[in-house]
């Protein structure tokens, strides 16, 4: 039963942004009630035995470079609440058909050296971002605002707004181009599209600044630590509550929704202006994902040694091949050789599988809402770079775009980014407003991945939305502390 107590603020949805919003408000002495429809908190940060007993799989998010890079999450004492990040020997690897692999590993200088003749170009690309990250991270991971270091931000922006294909022309070798393609393809957009370079720049920089860790025991460990910290501040959480209208909520001065525009309209659309509703109705969702989890009798037998040590492996071969697959997928076609993202948490976290066994997590991008089965295509890509892989499979769990949306209604059509990330939906998502977090109805805010800076486990959308509510409703101006 929901408590009838009045609150200063109610947060609907307990993904990373909902938890960040709740914590930000509670830290300012506000009474906050966090509601979650499922029986456990976390949104994309959940872990379960999807295949066989003893094999623990991350349902959505798996590797957390943006959590450790987050200006908000990185300042919280989450280790006091059970969170322990574990780091693989190699952050990410990208294999090729000749048995070699490019790898994101160690310092900028080490990775640059491994790229041979492309080392200087790699350093020139990333060194300015790495050196200025602490001064520009809040602007990169937030709404449009007056920058603290305008020249540094402009230097980043001139590269970030480019298509990934433009950056690729700076490299000569297939190794550097392929490594770059795998990073930029996290944007879930064709690599010829503007802004796709931004994701690649941030992910590569993250690898050198903080690394690409996983949470010990699974992504749910991060959710549990955030929830425990929120409760320690005096916050209140209730799970198993599905909010279908504003009438389902207790009285409060502010409500923040960790939901996408579609759900927000269904719950509170009658409160919005016609212009704001029109903008939300026109909000565009992007490509979906098709995900497979495997229980393995042994580790994946990658030909390239770097891949056997990597927490994350990008499969797709050359830049041209990956670009073609992403372009076909965006056009609604079923590509024969999809770009595949793999995570091998069990090679550096022995809590994920029984002794001597392993888990493998992977997905590819598919047309929005696709009904096609990509299992064979994904496994063919793994087998291509790891002959004998199929022989090691002892369990399998599949999630189509439909299943992803059923698991988390924020994943519309399988879109895990909360909406397409393009120039018109970058800083203005979900609508063109002075503050993207403020709706047209007083006291109602949106704080999901459908707000800047978009998808990823960083909590910054929730943090910025809570700051907006604190200033609007309570007259409190706050910053990271």
Contact 302, 308 (CB under 8 A): yes
Calculate the alpha carbon distances from 151 to 37, 121, 156, 167, 338 in Å: 44, 21, 9, 20, 38
Q: Residue 253 CB: number of other CB atoms within 10 A?
A: 17
pLDDT, position 208: 97
Give percent of the chain with pLDDT exceeding 70: 98
> What mean pLDDT is predicted for residues 212-224?
98
Burial of 239 (0-12, 13-18, 19+ CB in 10 A): middle
Is the fold of 7-45+216-282+418-474 the same as that of 89-211+287-407?
A: no
> What mean pLDDT is predicted for residues 117-129?
97
Lowest mean pLDDT among 97-101, 225-229, 476-480: 476-480
> What mean pLDDT is predicted for residues 453-464?
96
Name the band, by pLDDT with cuts 50, 70 and 90, for residue 142. confident
Across the chain, mean pLDDT equals: 95
Contact 359, 55 (CB under 8 A): yes
Name the band, by pLDDT with cuts 50, 70 and 90, for residue 2. very low
Q: Which two tokens stand for residue 331?
A: 């056009």
How is domain 89-211+287-407 classified at the architecture level of CATH?
Alpha-Beta Complex (3.90)
CA gap 304, 280 in Å, rounded: 46
CA gap 168, 153 in Å, rounded: 21
- 31 phi, psi to nearest 5 deg: -85, 125
Identify which of 299, 408, 288 has the alpha carbon closest to the alpha carbon of residue 346. 299
Burial of 271 (0-12, 13-18, 19+ CB in 10 A): middle
Q: Which two tokens stand for residue 165?
A: 């294909």
Q: What is the DSSP string of 339-365?
A: -EEEE-GGGT-TTSSSTT-EEEEEEEE
Lowest mean pLDDT among 81-95, 153-167, 260-274: 153-167
> What mean pLDDT is predicted for residues 221-227?
98
pLDDT, position 191: 98
Name the band, by pLDDT with cuts 50, 70 and 90, for residue 228. very high
CA gap 320, 243 in Å, rounded: 45
Q: What is the DSSP string of 34-96?
A: EEESSSSS-TT--EE--SSTT--EESS----HHHHH-TTGGGS-GGGGT--EE--SEEEEEE-
Q: Which pTM value belongs to this model?
A: 0.96
More confident call, 404 vs 148: 404
Contact 200, 183 (CB under 8 A): yes
CA gap 480, 72 in Å, rounded: 7
pLDDT, position 1: 40
Q: What are the extents of the domains in the chain?
A: 7-45+216-282+418-474, 89-211+287-407
Give domain 7-45+216-282+418-474's CATH number out of 3.50.50.60, 1.10.260.40, 3.90.1720.10, 3.30.465.10.
Answer: 3.50.50.60
């Amino acid at each position: 039963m929901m408590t009838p107590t009045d609150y200063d603020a109610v947060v609907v949805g307990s993904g990373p942004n909902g938890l960040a919003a709740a914590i930000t408000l509670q830290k300012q002495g506000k009474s906050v009630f966090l509601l979650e429809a499922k029986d456990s908190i976390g949104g994309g940060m959940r872990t379960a035995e999807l295949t066989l007993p003893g094999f623990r799989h991350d349902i959505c998010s798996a590797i957390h470079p943006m959590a450790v890079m987050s200006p908000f999450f990185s300042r919280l004492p989450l280790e006091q609440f059970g969170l322990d990040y574990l780091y693989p020997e190699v952050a990410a690897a990208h294999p090729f058909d000749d048995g070699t692999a490019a790898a994101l590993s160690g310092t900028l200088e080490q990775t640059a050296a491994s790229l041979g003749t492309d080392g200087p170009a790699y350093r020139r690309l990333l060194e300015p971002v790495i050196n200025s990250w602490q001064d520009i991270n809040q602007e990169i991971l937030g709404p449009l605002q007056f920058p603290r270091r305008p020249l540094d931000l402009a230097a980043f922006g001139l590269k970030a707004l480019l298509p990934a294909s433009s950056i690729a022309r700076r490299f000569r070798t297939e190794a550097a181009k392929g490594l770059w393609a795998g990073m930029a393809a996290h944007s879930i957009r064709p690599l010829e599209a503007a802004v796709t370079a931004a994701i690649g720049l941030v992910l590569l920089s993250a690898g050198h600044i903080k690394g690409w860790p996983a949470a010990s025991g699974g992504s749910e460990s991060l959710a549990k630590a955030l929830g425990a910290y929120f409760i320690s501040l005096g916050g209140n959480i209730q799970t198993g509550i599905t909010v279908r209208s504003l009438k389902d909520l207790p009285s409060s001065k502010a409500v923040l929704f960790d939901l996408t525009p579609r759900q927000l309209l269904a719950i509170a659309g009658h409160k919005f202006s016609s212009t704001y509703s029109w903008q939300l109705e026109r909000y565009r969702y992007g490509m979906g994902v098709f995900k497979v989890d495997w229980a393995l009798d042994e580790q994946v037998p990658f030909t390239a040694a770097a891949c056997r040590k990597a927490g994350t492996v990008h499969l797709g071969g050359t830049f041209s091949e990956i670009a073609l697959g992403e372009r076909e997928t965006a056009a609604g076609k079923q590509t024969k050789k999809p770009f595949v993202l793999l995570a091998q948490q069990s090679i550096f976290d022995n809590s994920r599988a029984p002794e001597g066994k392993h888990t493998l997590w992977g997905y590819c991008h598919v047309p929005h809402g696709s009904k096609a089965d990509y299992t064979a295509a994904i496994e063919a890509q793994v087998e291509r770079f790891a002959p004998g892989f199929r022989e090691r499979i002892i369990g399998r769990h599949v999630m189509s775009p439909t299943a992803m949306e059923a698991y988390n209604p924020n994943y519309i059509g399988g879109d895990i980014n909360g909406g397409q990330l393009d120039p018109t939906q970058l800083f203005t998502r979900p609508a063109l407003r002075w503050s993207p977090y403020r709706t047209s109805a007083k006291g109602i805010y949106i704080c999901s991945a459908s707000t800047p800076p978009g998808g990823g486990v960083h909590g910054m959308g929730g943090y910025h939305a809570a700051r907006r509510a604190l200033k609007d409703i309570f007259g409190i101006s706050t910053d990271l502390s």
